[in-house]
Amino acid sequence: MKKIIFITFLIIVFLASSVTLAAEKTKVQFWHAMGGWRIELLQEMVNNFMALNPDIEVEVQYTGSYGDTINKLNVAVQSKVAPHVVQGYDIATQMLIDGEVGLVMQDLIDADPTFDIGAFMPQVLNYYRVNGKLYCMPFNSSNAIMFYNKTLFEKAGLDPNKPPKTYEELLEYAKKLTTKDDKGNVVQAAVCWSLNCWFFEQFMATQNAPLVDNDNGRTGRPTKAIFNSDAGLKVFTFWNDLTKNGDMINTKLEDWTAARNLFISQKVAMLITSTSDVALMVKSAQENNFELGSAFLPTPADAEAGGVVIGGGSLWIIGGHPKNETDAAWKFVKYMTEAPQQIKWHTGTGYFPVRKDAIEGLLAQGYYSGSPHDLTAILQLLLSTQNYNTNGAIIGAFAEMRSIVASNIEKMLSGSMTPAEALAAAEKAATEAIRNYEGL
Amino acid sequence: MRKWTPYLLLIPTFIIIVIFIYVPAEYSIKASMQRILPFGRGTSYIGLTNFLKLFSNADYLYSVRFTILYVTVTVSIAIILSFLIALLLVKKIPGVKLFRTLIFVPYAISPAIAGALWTFLLNPIVGHVSYFFQVLFGIQVEWMTSKPYAFYAVVFASVWKTLPFNMIFYIASIQDVPEEILESATIEGANVMNRTWRIIFPMVSPITFYLVIMNIVTMMFSSFAIIDVMTKGGPGQYTTNMIYRLYLDAFYFQKPGVASAQSVILIAIMIVVTSIYFKFGERYVHY
């Protein structure tokens, strides 16, 4: 009998304490789109945050790709069960602003004197600032980078310390790097990147060329696509030539993994991918016994000096929650962008730190002398010209435009369109998508 | 009381149908005549503009043409092949039950997994199918990213996926064909071809009738996962069918109005197909 009373007492105490604990904690839901090993890394960062803030409980949820996450947010907002913090991707910025789902980050920053936005990288802020206001908090930023296999370069008789800088050089190198069997099947290709409009955007920016009018949509809402230019044609022709020669292996639409695997398995000698893959590539090169090199994106020899565009994601605080929850969400977002967390994130993935002091700290520790590829990635960004063309386009119908450009590239690669035809068709359809979105 | 019992028994089904079919259908019809801003920030009535835009959109018209081709090819192959394999599987040979079980496996696999599986098999560099092609014919086929192979790849996977479903039905109904009829036909001198196509095939026609409709529905609607995983509608929208187009507009480009218009068109097509088929079927199917 005594036992039963004791056990009942224990249960009551346990229940009571858990109820009071639950009542005290403010819950913050955080949706993100970072798959793979990054799920654990983010969870670890969140756990550290919760250890420092025992009154806040952050529920982390991996909600699939960037596109899926926006989708789920769309549904959640309309059924009034939106999370507090969502990772939105670069190209959804305008759509999220138009949807008025997020609190304007600038207002939260202005209201908090402890927060210093001056510590952030201007290159990153320039991307996310729309009409002079910061709508979301930069978190994971990346852009495109070229990796190359030094071992394969040496085998082909090329200088492993001289990666190609121009389209022309790359085409020359490709003659040596591409090997075929006696039936004409490609055994080893020179280069590969996943079939993705994002690379087209990066290649345009490195030539200092815009995608849409009104200064890439930064001085007014865009009304038409203007990428059917000399620069655009050079990118399409380059892509087409590489494919026709057998120098490049194309993946299916947006298949990043396939492109990475081709490079890791040493089927291709050069890979253009996101800088967020730096950590993965360093590890994979070690495991597969080849020496990794990294370089800036190639440009046409006569191109104007431009730069790379910020890609990746940012954190949005969704409106419509009670004040204490929004405050907790702000605390969390602030924590995630602080220097120690940004360093952890940067070294664990390859995404840039979005803060200057994080880079300074790492430099002082000598981190970059041991991680030359992270340095390549950061230098490429820092050496980029800063103007509307390299700050990235702001387009409401960006997702649709991407799909249009990619599918026209596929039509060109399959031989049913010439580069000029594909580019013209893509521009026309993109303009129509923009006009539809803007209600013109 | 007896008068009411059937209605009473129908209520649960009716409630489910109303909630999951009629209400969404009504919502689709309403949304198809609206322009809806992202995140539901506002809607405005625009009449039939969404439909008119669709019918003047070359990409959409292509997806309609592709759907017709895709459905015709996959359904025909799936029906004929499954009937032939079922004929073999009713033979009383040792191990036939094991074969039946093995052959049923694809049906138990989800379409997305099926797509992923075929993506591996058809991978031009490391895929097994590609390897055999290279050994046998000496060619390197880019199954998922080139024309017309992307179409073949999607057809393979879709047929492979639906085949077992059809076979189970055919096996059951072929076993139901009375032994006496076949015996007397044999005595009268009917050969295998005659017995198969003049006796068995007509006797299982109600099942064929049912399977054709089921397969059309499957290919029109459930093909989404296979296409999404295998080709993403590429290369260059080459394998984008109506349901994939709808997905892109609804969930990728955030255009619920246009997407709803497409789903209304799909509903209309299904109504037409089934009603034609029922009329036609009543005349030719032997019950």
Partner-chain residue, chosen from B38, B234, B252, that has the shortest CB–CB distance to A252? B234
Partner-chain residue, chosen from A186, A399, A408, that has the shortest CB–CB distance to B140? A186
Question: A interface mutation test: which of B57, B125, B154 has the most A CBs within 10 A?
Answer: B125
Q: What is the pLDDT of residue A13?
A: 60
Question: B interface mutation test: which of A66, A254, A407 has the most B CBs within 10 A?
Answer: A407
Note whether B137 contacts A: Cβ–Cβ < 8 A: no
Q: How much is the average pLDDT of A316-322?
A: 92
Q: What is the pLDDT of residue B99?
A: 83
- Which residues in chain B are contacts of A258 at CB distance < 8 A? 123
Low-confidence winner among A251-255, A280-284, B261-265 (lowest mean pLDDT): A251-255
Partner-chain residue, chosen from A78, A183, A254, that has the shortest CB–CB distance to B39? A78
Q: What is the pLDDT of residue B80?
A: 94
Cα Rg, chain B, nearest whole Å: 23
Asked if residue A19 has pLDDT above 60, the reply is no
Q: What is the pLDDT of residue A192?
A: 95
- What tens digit of pLDDT does each residue of B110-136 get? 888 888 888 888 877 777 888 888 788
Task: Spell out the SS3 assignment of chain A.
Answer: CHHHHHHHHHHHHHHHHHHHHHHHCEEEEEEECCCCHHHHHHHHHHHHHHHHCCCEEEEEEECCCHHHHHHHHHHHHHCCCCCCEEEEEHHHHHHHHHHCCECCHHHHHHHCCCCCHHHECHHHHHHHEECCEECCEEEEEECEEEEEEHHHHHHCCCCCCCCCCEHHHHHHHHHHHCEECCCCCEEEEEEECCECHHHHHHHHHHCCCCCEHHHHHCCCCCCCECCCCHHHHHHHHHHHHHHHHCCECCCCECCHHHHHHHHHCCCEEEEEEEHHHHHHHHHHHHHCCCCEEEECCCECCCCCCCCCCCEEEEEEEECCCCHHHHHHHHHHHHHHCCHHHHHHHHHHHCCECCEHHHHHHHHHHCHHHHCHHHHHHHHHHHCCCCCHHHHCCCCCCHHHHHHHHHHHHHHHHCCCCCHHHHHHHHHHHHHHHHHHHHCC
Residue B186 lies in a domain: yes
CB contact under 8 A, A408 and B236: yes
Interface of A with B in 378-417 (CB under 8 A): 396-397, 399-400, 403, 407-411, 413-414, 416
Note whether B175 contacts A: Cβ–Cβ < 8 A: no
Query: Distance, in angstroms, between B254 CA and closest chain A CA?
Result: 8
- Which residues in chain B are contacts of A101 at CB distance < 8 A? 39
Residue B24 lies in a domain: no
Interface of A with B in 167-206 (CB under 8 A): 183, 185-186, 195
Q: Given pLDDT bands bounded at 50, 70 and 90, which one contains residue A6?
A: low
Chain B residue closest in CA terms to A94: B38
Partner-chain residue, chosen from A99, A183, A195, that has the shortest CB–CB distance to B39? A99
Show the beta-strand stretches assigned E in A154-211: 179-180, 186-192
Note whether A74 contacts B: Cβ–Cβ < 8 A: yes
Q: What is the pLDDT of residue A2?
A: 65
Q: Given pLDDT bands bounded at 50, 70 and 90, which one contains residue A178?
A: very high
Residue B46 lies in a domain: no
Q: What is the pLDDT of residue B286?
A: 61
Q: What is the pLDDT of residue A349?
A: 87
Q: What is the pLDDT of residue A212?
A: 96
CB contact under 8 A, A410 and B235: yes
Query: Distance, in angstroms, between A350 CA and closest chain B CA?
Result: 27
Q: How much is the average pLDDT of A114-120?
A: 91
Instruction: Report how far residue B262's alpha carbon sits from residue B256's, in angstroms, rounded to the nearest whole number.
Output: 10
- A-B CB pairs within 8 A amount to 99
Note whether B238 contacts A: Cβ–Cβ < 8 A: yes
Residue B156 lies in a domain: yes
Residue B247 lies in a domain: yes
Fold that domain A24-142+311-370 belongs to in CATH: D-Maltodextrin-Binding Protein; domain 2 (3.40.190)
Give the H/E segment covering residue A62.
strand A56-62
Q: What is the pLDDT of residue A191?
A: 96
Q: What is the pLDDT of residue B91?
A: 82
Asked if residue A267 has pLDDT above 70, the reply is yes
- What tens digit of pLDDT does each residue of A94-108 get? 999 988 889 999 999
Residue B47 lies in a domain: no
- Residue B77: domain span: 57-284
Q: What is the pLDDT of residue A381?
A: 92
Residue B41 lies in a domain: no
- Which residues in chain B are contacts of A426 at CB distance < 8 A? none
Note whether A71 contacts B: Cβ–Cβ < 8 A: yes
Domain ranges of chain A: 24-142+311-370, 144-307+395-438
Q: To the nearest whole number, what is the mean pLDDT of chain A?
A: 91
- What tens digit of pLDDT does each residue of B29-80 get? 998 998 888 777 778 888 888 899 899 888 899 999 999 999 999 999 999 9
Q: What is the pLDDT of residue A417?
A: 93
Helix (H, G, I), strand (E, B) or coil at B50: helix
Asked if residue A23 has pLDDT above 60, the reply is no
CB contact under 8 A, A77 and B145: no
CATH number, domain containing residue B155: 1.10.3720.10
CB contact under 8 A, B232 and A252: yes
Q: What is the pLDDT of residue A7?
A: 66
- What tens digit of pLDDT does each residue of B178-204 get? 888 888 888 888 888 888 888 888 888
Q: What is the pLDDT of residue A14?
A: 61
Note whether B144 contacts A: Cβ–Cβ < 8 A: yes
**Whole-prediction pTM value?**
0.86
Asked if residue A313 has pLDDT above 70, the reply is yes
Residue B170 lies in a domain: yes
Q: What is the pLDDT of residue B270?
A: 85
Note whether B193 contacts A: Cβ–Cβ < 8 A: no
Beta bridge partners of A23: none
CB contact under 8 A, B234 and A410: yes
Q: How many domains does chain B have?
A: 1
Distance from the Cα of residue A125 to its chain's centroid: 15
- How much of chain B exceeds pLDDT 90, in percent? 26
Instruction: Report how far residue A143's alpha carbon sits from residue A356's, in angstroms, rounded to the nearest whole number.
Output: 17
Task: Answer whether CATH 3.40.50.1000 is correct for domain A144-307+395-438.
Answer: no
Note whether A424 contacts B: Cβ–Cβ < 8 A: no
Q: What is the pLDDT of residue A18?
A: 55
Same fold, A24-142+311-370 and A144-307+395-438: yes
Q: Are A206 and A299 in contact (CB under 8 A)?
A: yes
- Which residues in chain B are contacts of A252 at CB distance < 8 A? 144-145, 230-232, 234-235
Query: Distance, in angstroms, between A213 CA and closest chain B CA?
Result: 21
